[in-house]
Structures are given as structure tokens and as C-alpha cells.
């Protein structure tokens, strides 16, 4: 029996970066939006991400400025404005781990690549780093390669989530993951949704930002297209067994001869303050399905290979398997931009990159604006406390 009936202008389902960002933008604009989450906030891809606000440099390593590179190129400046408190969203309390993601190769680069990096198109996004400005790891005499810094900050995503949740937490509804969602439709348009037996929400527009969960939601709405693809990863983590020998905090892509970084390392801090290296790139893409011993022994060899001058301390290891959820592409490629498609009054969205959350919100808002007449809605007073996911560094090593 329905005991709680709420009204709103927009319902957003899924509180990862996409839903949280959009929820903030809409409420700030005076469009009432309720955000629904069926697990802990940020638990899925968002708190599994490396927190790099890509500007596209990594997609240009093959010497071509692709559509992906151009679409994502504006994102670091959008986020930087938010970090200063001058952007669409106030992220002035978020923690910046590094102002620049680095990129190194252990050998000198070919003159062709060096001139491409110095070309007009790329020189505004990446610069060589002087010996004196290098982080300690790359000041070692044994490092003989090239080091670039990219105009791409790396953020503590847990702190970003905190900034996004706080202003509008009285408009976030959490419920158990096994609760059914049912839709009431009229002529194909959704009028309201029912959560479990007791909550009904009436709204004008509905946005699905549930990441991998969009697939089941689309099925429940009988929407066949857009379809979703999953691109799995097995990420690897390590930290020094002895905190006194903590790994240095680095944020860097390691470049080989191919068009993708061999490895991308970001550094995070567990609750005891120990540095955790979180390793993505080829090892995570090719590591899917490998057992713990195999992938961690490959990761050890990889680290020895890409930084031969650095003596690794004794390490503890963990792995994390996670799917990237995106609109279906041919040959499981990565979509270039944030994706939004509309079916009646339902908008299906995948940012495809954390960095593209501002782009996704722009696209959804553009679609919504012509269809919304902001109404007045009763505040919700009986919400349970918001539950934000525990950071990966504190759950993975258990
Ligand atoms: C290992 C890894 C590293 C990455 N690193 C980067 C990076 O450094 N930079 C970058 O730009 N991008 C990165 N990405 C990509 C980025 O993390 C994702 O594109 C982005 O986080 C997706 O956000 P989202 O909000 O769409 O989805 P998610 O973060 O997956 O959030 C979806 C939310 O919806 C909820 N949900 C699901 N079903 C329902 C339902 N039925 N009802 C209510 N709620 C529901 C889930 O519980 C979840 O909280 C990385 C991805 C991975 C996997």
C-alpha cells in the first residue's frame, strides 16, 4: 500500500558521478530533482575510477587528434572552474591529489612523437617537465627517459562525492537493492514510479544514470534501444607492508611503443594514511579473468620493467574487478562523448568517462528545458541518513 507519495519535476535514478552532477545542476537552476540510489552512493564505477580529469592527451598517443580528444578537451577547464568555486558546481572543498597527471617513458621518445607532442594541437595540453620540477621518483639518476605533464588534474573522488551530496541531500532517496521499481505509464510516457510497496513518485521527466543498472531499468521499461555494453577491467592495487617504507605518491601514465599507456598509476590513501598504488591500463584490460597470483605477479614484473631504477618495498596486493558500462558500440570500442538518448520522457545517459559528467549534464538539461514547467513540491522530511560508499582502499585489502 502506498504510504509515501512525493512529487518532483525530474526523477534521476543512480547516484554515481553522472546522477549526482545532474542532480546538483537541476536543483541549483530551480528545477526540483529527486535522486534515487539503491546501494551506497558512488559504490560502482565512480568510486572505482582513478579520478583523472582527462583532457584527451592519452587518446592522441597514436599521433591523431580524434573526436574523443576534441570532445573531452574542454573538461579539465570546466572542472578547474568548479574546484575554484566559480563553475556550475561548487567543488571548492574537494581535494586535488595532483594538478597534473604525468606521462613518462623509460627511454627517450622518437623525434616524430616529440614533434607531435610539441605541435600546436597538443602543446597546450602537455609540456615537458624540467629536471628540477620533477617529483622525487623521476629525479633518480637511473631515470633516463622523457617526462611530460598533462593539463589534467587528479582528484580525490570521495571528496568530490561529499561536495555533490551535501547541498541537496534532502532530495536523495536511498532504498535496498532488492526493492522493485514499477512504472506507471500513459501512452508510452512515464507518469510515476513506485519503489517497493510504499513509495510513489510523480514526475514530469525521468533520467536513467544507473551505469550498469541502466540495462535492467531499460528492460523494465521495455526499451530495447539504446543497448548497453560492458567493458570489464581487473584493476590492481598495492601498498607497502611497512608504512615507514610507503610508496611515493605518483599520478602517471607509463608510455611504451603502442598507442595506449602500458600502465596508469594513481595514488590514494587508505584510512591509516598508507599510500595505495592503483594500477590501470593494459594490465587491467588484459587481466580480466586472471587469478590473483597471476595478475599480481604480472603487475610486479610490470612495475620492475617500467621503473627499473626504483626498488620496490615489500608489498601487499589487492585486485578489483569492475565493468565499464556504456552505450553499445561496434567492436566494443569506447564511445567518444557523453551519451544521452531520449525515449518519450525518459532520458538514458552514460557519461562514458567521469571527466565528461559536466558534458552529460549539459546534454540532459538541453533536452529537459523545453519540457519542464517547474512546480512547487513539498519537502521530504522522513528520509533515512545518506549512505556513501566506503573508499576502495579501505575495502579491497580485507
Ligand atoms: C577502474 C575504472 C577507472 C576509471 N578511471 C577513470 C578516470 O580516471 N577518469 C575518468 O574520466 N573516467 C574514469 N573511469 C570511467 C568512470 O568511472 C565512469 O565513466 C563513471 O564513473 C560512470 O559514472 P555513472 O554515474 O554513469 O555510473 P556509476 O558510477 O556506475 O553509478 C551508477 C549508480 O547507479 C546505481 N544504480 C544502479 N541501478 C540502480 C537502480 N535500479 N536504482 C537505483 N540506483 C541504481 C548504482 O548503485 C550506482 O551508484 C573509470 C572507470 C573504471 C571502471
User: For residues 124 and 333, what is the distance between their CA atoms, to the nearest angstrom?
Assistant: 27
Q: Is residue 283 part of a domain?
A: no
- Helices 357-369 and 75-83 cross at an angle (nearest 10°) of 90
User: For residues 387 and 299, what is the distance between their CA atoms, to the nearest angstrom?
Assistant: 33
| Closest C-alpha among 353, 286, 18, 12 to residue 152 | 353
Q: What is the pLDDT of residue 383?
A: 85
Q: Does the pLDDT of residue 378 top 80, yes or no?
A: yes
Q: What is the pLDDT of residue 259?
A: 67
Q: Among 71, 193, 213, 347, say which to mutate for ligand 1: greatest number of ligand atoms within 8 Å of CB.
A: 213
Residues 149-173, mean pLDDT to the nearest whole number: 97
Answer whether 351 contacts ligand 1 (Cβ < 6 A). yes
Q: Does the pLDDT of residue 207 top 70, yes or no?
A: yes
Answer whether 226 contacts ligand 1 (Cβ < 6 A). no
Q: What is the pLDDT of residue 261?
A: 86
Answer whether 36 contacts ligand 1 (Cβ < 6 A). yes
Q: Is residue 303 part of a domain?
A: no
Q: Among 12, 13, 14, say which to mutate for ligand 1: greatest number of ligand atoms within 8 Å of CB.
A: 14
DSSP 388: B
pTM exceeds 0.75, yes or no = yes
Q: Is residue 14 part of a domain?
A: yes
**Ligand 1 centre from 361 Cα, in Å?**
15
Three-state DSSP at 75 gives helix
**Ligand 1 centre from 323 Cα, in Å?**
9
Name which residue sits closest to atom 6 of ligand 1, judged by CA: 49
Q: Is residue 15 part of a domain?
A: yes
User: For residues 139 and 172, what is the distance between their CA atoms, to the nearest angstrom?
Assistant: 47
Q: Is residue 125 part of a domain?
A: no
Which CATH number is 215's domain given? 3.50.50.60
* Number of compact structural domains in the chain: 1
Q: Is residue 239 part of a domain?
A: no
User: For residues 202 and 41, what is the distance between their CA atoms, to the nearest angstrom?
Assistant: 23
- What is the per-residue pLDDT across 235-279, written as a single tens digit (0 to 9) for each? 999 999 999 999 999 999 999 877 678 999 999 999 999 999 999
- What is the per-residue pLDDT across 78-111, written as a single tens digit (0 to 9) for each? 999 999 999 999 999 999 999 999 999 988 777 7
> Are the beta carbons of 307 and 252 closer than 8 angstroms?
no
Q: Is residue 373 part of a domain?
A: yes
Name the residue range of residue 218's domain. 4-46+160-227+329-390
Answer whether 101 contacts ligand 1 (Cβ < 6 A). no
C-alpha cell at 381: 522530511
Q: Is residue 24 part of a domain?
A: yes
Report the relative pairing of strands 275-280 and 228-240 from DSSP bridges.
antiparallel
Amino acid at each position: 500500500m502506498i504510504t509515501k507519495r512525493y512529487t518532483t519535476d525530474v526523477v534521476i535514478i543512480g547516484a554515481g558521478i553522472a546522477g549526482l552532477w545532474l542532480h546538483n545542476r537541476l536543483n541549483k537552476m530551480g528545477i526540483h530533482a529527486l535522486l534515487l540510489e539503491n546501494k551506497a552512493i558512488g559504490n560502482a564505477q565512480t568510486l572505482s575510477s582513478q579520478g583523472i580529469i582527462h583532457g584527451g592527451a592519452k587518446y592522441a598517443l597514436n599521433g591523431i587528434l580524434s573526436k574523443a580528444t576534441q570532445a573531452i578537451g574542454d573538461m579539465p577547464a570546466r572542472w578547474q572552474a568548479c574546484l575554484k568555486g566559480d563553475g556550475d558546481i561548487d567543488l571548492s572543498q574537494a581535494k586535488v591529489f595532483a594538478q597534473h597527471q604525468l606521462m613518462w617513458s623509460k627511454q627517450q621518445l622518437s623525434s616524430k612523437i616529440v614533434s607531435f607532442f610539441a605541435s600546436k594541437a597538443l602543446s597546450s595540453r602537455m609540456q615537458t617537465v624540467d629536471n628540477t620540477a620533477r617529483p622525487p621518483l623521476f629525479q633518480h639518476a637511473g631515470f633516463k627517459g622523457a617526462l611530460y605533464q598533462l593539463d589534467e588534474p587528479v582528484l580525490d573522488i570521495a571528496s568530490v562525492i561529499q561536495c555533490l551530496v551535501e547541498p541537496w541531500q534532502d532530495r536523495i532517496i536511498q532504498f535496498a537493492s532488492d526493492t522493485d521499481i514499477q512504472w506507471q505509464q500513459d501512452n508510452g510516457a512515464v507518469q510515476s514510479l513506485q519503489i517497493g510497496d510504499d513509495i510513489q513518485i510523480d514526475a514530469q521527466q525521468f533520467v536513467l544514470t544507473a551505469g550498469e543498472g541502466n540495462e535492467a531499468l531499460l528492460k523494465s521499461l521495455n526499451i530495447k534501444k539504446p543497448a548497453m555494453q560492458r567493458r570489464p577491467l581487473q584493476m590492481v592495487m598495492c601498498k607497502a607492508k611497512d608504512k615507514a617504507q610507503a610508496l611515493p605518491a605518483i599520478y602517471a601514465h607509463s608510455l611504451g611503443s603502442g598507442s595506449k599507456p602500458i600502465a596508469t598509476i594513481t595514488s590514494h590513501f587508505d584510512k591509516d594514511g598508507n599510500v595505495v598504488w592503483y594500477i590501470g591500463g593494459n594490465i587491467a584490460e588484459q587481466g580480466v579473468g586472471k587469478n590473483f597470483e597471476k595478475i599480481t605477479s604480472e603487475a610486479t614484473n610490470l612495475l620492475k620493467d617500467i621503473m627499473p631504477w626504483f626498488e620496490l618495498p615489500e608489498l601487499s596486493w589487492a585486485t578489483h574487478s569492475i565493468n565499464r558500462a556504456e552505450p553499445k558500440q561496434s567492436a566494443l570500442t569506447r564511445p567518444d562523448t557523453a551519451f544521452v538518448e531520449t525515449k518519450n520522457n525518459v532520458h538514458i545517459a552514460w557519461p562514458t568517462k567521469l571527466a565528461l559528467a559536466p558534458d552529460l549534464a549539459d546534454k540532459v538539461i538541453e533536452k529537459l528545458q523545453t519540457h519542464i514547467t517547474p512546480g512547487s513540491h513539498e519537502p521530504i522530511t522522513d528520509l533515512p541518513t545518506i549512505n556513501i560508499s566506503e573508499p576502495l582502499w579501505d575495502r579491497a585489502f580485507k
